[in-house]
Amino acid sequence: GESVGLHLPTLSVQEGDNSIINCAYSNSASDYFIWYKQESGKGPQFIIDIRSNMDKRQGQRVTVLLNKTVKHLSLQIAATQPGDSAVYFCAENIGGAQKLVFGQGTRLTINP
Amino acid sequence: NAGVMQNPRHLVRRRGQEARLRCSPMKGHSHVYWYRQLPEEGLKFMVYLQKENIIDESGMPKERFSAEFPKEGPSILRIQQVVRGDSAAYFCASSLDPSNQPQHFGDGTRLSIL
């Protein structure tokens, strides 16, 4: 399943399936992008990052894709597990600004 | 290796009182950021500090809010004469090198105004 992550929509997936969370960023000058996971009552937890000179980066069970042409970022989570339930935020660092601009987030829920 | 530490975790104040939120960055990090989060929303940048200097305060309200990061001790976000609209979660983040390293966040202070 897919979801656009700017209005806190909810994405529900079956345990074991792959999840894809999308994000449209706003500023063509952004040069560094980060995905964070936020569980209830906690702060954002770093998942994976990507610089603007790359279009793909892989981590453990996660992959981030960057399409600068359409200013789109996605997070793919392989073999989704119950512990992946959280709100996921993309954040962009506008070149030189040294501050993060966050999207609204996407709530990921896992069905057993 | 301790992460970003914030205290208190929960703070209740009455309208007109002062709120002080503290943040100790990760060891070795000299770049500190404060963000505010309302329920069901993303985080909004408030201020970026390095030791003893405010680098960017473009997200801070012009009145009642101030931040510092002294040479010794934690960073402090201070809100004077709090109003109901100040109720939110306030998060602190730190970074080793913000140009190519991610910001790492604490678990926030939940501020409630009665």
Report pLDDT digits (tens) over B11-52: 999 999 999 999 999 999 999 999 999 887 889 999 999 988
Pick from A42, A46, A91: which is nearest to B107 by CB? Answer: A42
Question: Measured between alpha carbons, how far is A85 from B23 in angstroms, rounded to an integer?
Answer: 27
B residues 63-102 near A, CB within 8 Å? Answer: 91, 93, 98-100, 102
pLDDT, residue A27, reads 87
CB contact under 8 Å between A98 and B31, yes or no, is yes
Question: Measured between alpha carbons, how far is A88 from A83 in angstroms, rounded to an integer?
Answer: 13
**DSSP letter for each residue of A37-96:** EE-TTS--EEEEEEETT-SEEE-SSEEEEEETTTTEEEEEESS--GGG-EEEEEEEEETT
The nearest CA of chain A is from the CA of B99 a distance in Å of 7
Report pLDDT digits (tens) over A49-97: 999 999 999 999 999 999 999 999 999 999 999 999 999 999 998 766 6
Write down the residue that tokens 């004077």 correspond to: B80
Interface A:B, Cβ pairs < 8 A: 60
pLDDT, residue B1, reads 52
Chain A CA closest to residue B50: A98
pLDDT, residue A1, reads 36
